Homo-oligomer: A and B are copies of this chain.
Amino acid sequence: MLRIAKLTDYATVLMVRMAREPGCCFSAAQLADELGVPQPTVAKLLKHLLRAQLLASARGVGGGYSLALAPHAISVADVVGAIEGPLALTECARGKGNCSLERGCATRTNWQLINRALRVALQAVSLADMARPQLQPIHVQALQEKMP
Residues of A at the B interface (CB closer than 8 Å) are: 1-6, 8-10, 12-13, 16-17, 20, 35-37, 76, 80, 84-85, 87-93, 99-101, 105-107, 109-111, 113-114, 116-118, 120-122, 124-125, 129-147
* Number of copies of chain A assembled together: 2
**Which residue in chain B gives the minimum CB-CB distance to A101?**
B13
Contact in complex: A122, B132 (CB < 8 Å): no
Contact in complex: A9, B91 (CB < 8 Å): yes
A93 partner residues in chain B, CB cutoff 8 A:
3
**Which residue in chain B gives the minimum CB-CB distance to A136?**
B143
Contact in complex: B141, A140 (CB < 8 Å): yes
- Beyond A88-B3, A114-B76, whether A136 also contacts B145 by CB under 8 A is yes
